[in-house]
């Protein structure tokens, strides 16, 4: 039987998946991978990978795009600029957050967020939920129904006045996660400790950006991580601790794992490449650019995070992209001027640099294997949030979302990036690799020099059952 020619063939690829590395041609039809093999017949279009490494497109499972904020704060990136920037750095799927505001229905938050995404995204996307107001209506009706409809993960905050939940509320939500098969993501920092420390710092006039890190020392993260683990144990449901920053939280997670608990963890580039010094060694306001929570720690903690990436402690590597312009009244200078650290919007940009940073320093720097890189940046996040094997793999039937990597010396500048933020925390850093080509659904979106827009073609993905949950129980005999 004569088969239709391929739409695209990527030839001479060194394909890397989470478990194997092999030479192959990749045959693509209708946006999906349909064949892997050698000497595939010609396609309508041919791409020569020239023996370069080809990985699955990245899945950034923790990024904030166009998330409604309390005025004057406003995120710089929407689904247009955010997904453009993602694609140019090798990320082909994003999972940002539909955030419920207190007093708002969760359903309304999701509908509003769909409107923000609709017609704008260049790559595919799914949504996590943020539950900030777990009313009986949310717990009993809205959340279970949304989980059934493909929103199978939600974030719980233990800090931030407008988002934080108390332990009882967290237990209620964990019970819903257990009963309805959802993945709970936890932001673990002790809100009362932060407030107490912040007031003391303010009372002594220490309000420069660098004091943000003093208000959020590691013990604040350690205590909340420990408590989150205890709450998970009480309900007997897996949780994933997001943006783990250093030794104290890592130790809590390692202890829990050693006891057999299903405690999973995510970390981010800022905990590998920044330290608290980037928030300032004096009272300069420039440090506001690196104000994020938890804050970056020190060099010895960077090593602890690298070890956790190498030895399997971390399941997911995300950007926590939270885009605020530095020189802007809606960004790091609320109202237009320099403010005390408590008022600086938290977050740094990182969607575009996440994959190249980890590839350069992790893979080429010899700290993690190529297969572990794929696992952390694509396969595991896709599995953890129920979009695998469509996303996160190079396999027959998977979406043809691919990255061809080029090793070259790069000095990173914000001018070379594609987000709408006016700085990168990694300005001037030397990188050893960047995507030479990014394909989304078999179409070139980034060719190493130019972005090829596909605005509005990014599709919403309904998420399935998160893979980190225990397998469902078999049906009761006779039922």
Q: Does 187 sit near Zn ion (CB under 5 A)? A: yes
**DSSP string spanning 137-179?**
HIIIIIHHHHHHTT--EEEEESSSTTTB--HHHHHHHHHHHHH
Smallest distance, Å, CB 141 to ligand DUC? Answer: 27
Distance CA 132, CA 135 (A): 9
Kindly indicate which of the ranges 1-9, 187-195, 415-423, 457-465 contains the residues binding Zn ion, using the contact rule CB under 5 A. Answer: 187-195
Q: Does 120 sit near ligand DUC (CB under 6 A)? A: no
Binding track, positions 168-187, relative to ligand DUC; x by CB under 6 A: -------------------x
Q: Does 124 sit near ligand DUC (CB under 6 A)? A: no
Residue with Cβ nearer ligand DUC (8 or 268):
268
Q: Which residues contact 141 (CB under 8 A, 6 or more apart)?
A: none
Select the binding partner of residue 292 from ligand DUC, Zn ion, none (C-beta < 5 to 8 A, by kind): ligand DUC
Residue with Cβ nearer ligand DUC (25 or 320):
320
Smallest distance, Å, CB 320 to Zn ion? Answer: 4
Kindly indicate which of the ranges 159-167, 179-187, 353-361, 459-467 contains the residues binding Zn ion, using the contact rule CB under 5 A. Answer: 179-187
Smallest distance, Å, CB 98 to Zn ion? Answer: 13
Taking alpha carbons only, the member of 55, 80, 140 closest to residue 359 is: 55
Report how far apart, in Å, the C-alpha atoms of 422 and of each of 141, 205, 208, 417 are.
42, 29, 21, 10
Q: Does 221 sit near Zn ion (CB under 5 A)? A: no
Residue with Cβ nearer ligand DUC (58 or 294):
294
Residue pair 422/325 in contact by the 8 Å Cβ criterion: yes
Q: Which residue is nearest to Zn ion (CB)?
A: 187
Q: Does 346 sit near ligand DUC (CB under 6 A)? A: yes
Residue pair 15/54 in contact by the 8 Å Cβ criterion: yes
Q: Identify residues 286-305 at the interface with ligand DUC (CB under 6 A).
A: 292-293
Residue pair 21/32 in contact by the 8 Å Cβ criterion: no
Q: Identify residues 12-31 at the interface with ligand DUC (CB under 6 A).
A: none
Q: Does 347 sit near ligand DUC (CB under 6 A)? A: yes
Among 221, 278, 320, 361, binds ligand DUC (CB under 6 A): 320
Distance CA 66, CA 153 (A): 19
Residue pair 267/307 in contact by the 8 Å Cβ criterion: no
Q: Does 82 sit near ligand DUC (CB under 6 A)? A: no
Kindly indicate which of the ranges 173-181, 196-204, 260-268, 312-320 contains the residues binding Zn ion, using the contact rule CB under 5 A. Answer: 312-320
Cα 175 to chain centroid, rounded: 24
Among 320, 330, 352, 399, binds Zn ion (CB under 5 A): 320
Residue pair 315/240 in contact by the 8 Å Cβ criterion: yes
Runs of H (alpha helix) within 264-369: 270-273, 299-311, 354-357
Q: Does 225 sit near ligand DUC (CB under 6 A)? A: no
The residue count for binding ligand DUC (CB under 6 A) is: 8
Distance CA 265, CA 317 (A): 9
Q: Give contact residues for ligand DUC (rule: CB under 6 A).
A: 64, 187, 292-293, 320, 322, 346-347
């Amino acid at each position: 039987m004569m088969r239709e020619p391929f739409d695209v063939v990527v030839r001479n690829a060194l394909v890397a998946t989470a478990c194997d590395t092999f030479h192959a041609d990749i045959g693509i039809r209708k946006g999906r991978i349909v064949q892997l093999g050698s000497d595939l017949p010609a396609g309508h279009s041919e791409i020569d990978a020239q023996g370069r490494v080809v990985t699955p497109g990245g899945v950034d499972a923790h990024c904030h795009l166009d998330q409604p904020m309390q005025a004057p704060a406003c995120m710089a990136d929407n689904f247009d600029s955010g997904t453009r920037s993602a694609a140019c750095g090798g990320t082909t799927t994003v999972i940002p957050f539909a955030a419920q505001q207190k007093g708002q229905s969760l359903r309304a938050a999701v509908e509003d967020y769909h409107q923000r995404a609709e017609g704008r995204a260049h790559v595919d996307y799914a949504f996590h939920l943020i539950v900030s107001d777990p009313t009986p209506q949310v717990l009993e009706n809205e959340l279970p129904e949304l989980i059934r409809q493909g929103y199978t993960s939600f974030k719980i905050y233990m800090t931030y006045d407008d988002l934080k939940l108390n332990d009882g509320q967290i237990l209620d939500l964990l019970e819903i996660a257990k009963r309805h098969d959802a993945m709970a993501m936890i932001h673990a920092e002790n809100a009362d400790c932060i407030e107490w420390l912040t007031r003391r710092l303010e009372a002594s006039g220490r309000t420069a950006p660098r004091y943000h890190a003093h208000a959020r020392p590691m013990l604040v993260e350690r205590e909340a991580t420990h408590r989150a683990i205890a709450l998970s144990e009480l309900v007997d449901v897996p949780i994933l601790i997001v943006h783990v920053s250093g030794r104290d939280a890592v130790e809590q997670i390692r202890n829990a794992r050693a006891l057999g608990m299903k405690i999973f963890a995510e970390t981010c580039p800022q905990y590998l490449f920044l330290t608290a010094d980037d928030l300032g060694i004096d009272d300069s306001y420039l440090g506001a650019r690196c104000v994020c929570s938890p804050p970056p720690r020190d060099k010895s903690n960077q090593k602890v995070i690298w070890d956790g990436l190498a030895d399997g402690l971390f399941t997911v590597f995300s950007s926590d992209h939270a885009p605020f312009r530095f020189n802007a009244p809606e960004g790091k200078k609320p109202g237009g001027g320099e403010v005390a650290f408590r008022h600086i919007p938290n977050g740094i940009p990182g969607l575009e640099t996440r994959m190249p940073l980890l590839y350069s320093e992790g893979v080429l720097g010899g700290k993690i294997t190529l297969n572990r890189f794929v696992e952390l940046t694509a396969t595991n996040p896709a599995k953890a949030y129920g979009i695998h094997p469509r996303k996160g793999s190079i396999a027959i039937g998977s979406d043809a979302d691919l990255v061809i990597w080029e090793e070259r010396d790069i000095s990173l500048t914000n001018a070379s990036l594609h987000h709408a933020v006016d700085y990168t925390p990694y300005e001037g850093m030397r990188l050893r690799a960047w995507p030479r080509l990014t394909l989304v659904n078999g179409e070139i979106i980034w060719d190493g020099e130019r972005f090829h827009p596909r605005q509005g073609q990014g599709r919403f993905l309904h998420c399935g059952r998160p893979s980190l949950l225990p397998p469902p129980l078999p049906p009761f005999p006779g039922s």
